Amino acid sequence: MNAEDLTEIERAGRRCGVCHSGRGWRRFEIVRPAEGEPVVLCASCRVRFGDNPPVGSQPAAASDPAPAALKPLSPPKPRAGERRTERRPDRLRTALRMMPGSFSTAMAARAAGLNNDKTLARLQDLERRGEVQRLGNRWSTEPPPSDIASAMDRLEARTSNLRIVRDRPRAG
């Protein structure tokens, strides 16, 4: 390596002109393309690109005008301190629509993709709003039974138990 090459390597900040790596800078090589400035290359970029590195040369001018930029698929992320104005759909409410009549907190958490603590807090919030009801250690999205309906259910259960007892053969 001669003094002129060392000067070029120093001028490049002991960095490869392509991958910007500074590793093994003492083995860097200088490529002098016919058109353009000399380019400092690390050993791997030298093997990869040879005498034609992708820097230091001007790209060919495009004959067609550039196509209009496509609209991004997702909205840009808000900057620090900004709040999103649009609301995302509530994952828990979406999952609750697909749940069976009664379900546990863990079932709802799994369906919504949330952890159990967050799901429990959200279910308690929805319970205060009247959207879900607690049934022992389970939850339900069905409306609570009215007093008359629950009395009829108890009466029906009692009469079915009486029929079972009355229809049972007596030991004798």
Delimit the domains of the chain by residue range.
Answer: 3-49, 89-166
Alpha-helical segments (H) within the chain: 3-11, 43-49, 91-97, 105-112, 116-129, 147-167
Given this model, what pLDDT does residue 54 score? Answer: 79
Q: Which of 134 and 56 is assigned the larger pLDDT?
A: 134
For domain 89-166, give its CATH number from 1.10.10.10, 3.40.50.460, 3.40.50.150, 3.40.50.300.
1.10.10.10
Q: Give tens-digit pLDDT for 6-40.
A: 888 888 888 888 888 888 888 888 888 777 788 88
| Length, in residues, of the chain | 172
Q: Give tens-digit pLDDT for 114-155.
A: 899 999 999 999 989 888 888 888 888 887 666 676 777 777
* Section 92-118 average pLDDT: 88
pTM equals 0.38
Contact 12, 41 (CB under 8 A): no
**What percent of the chain is helix, strand and coil (3-state, nearest 5)?**
40, 10, 50
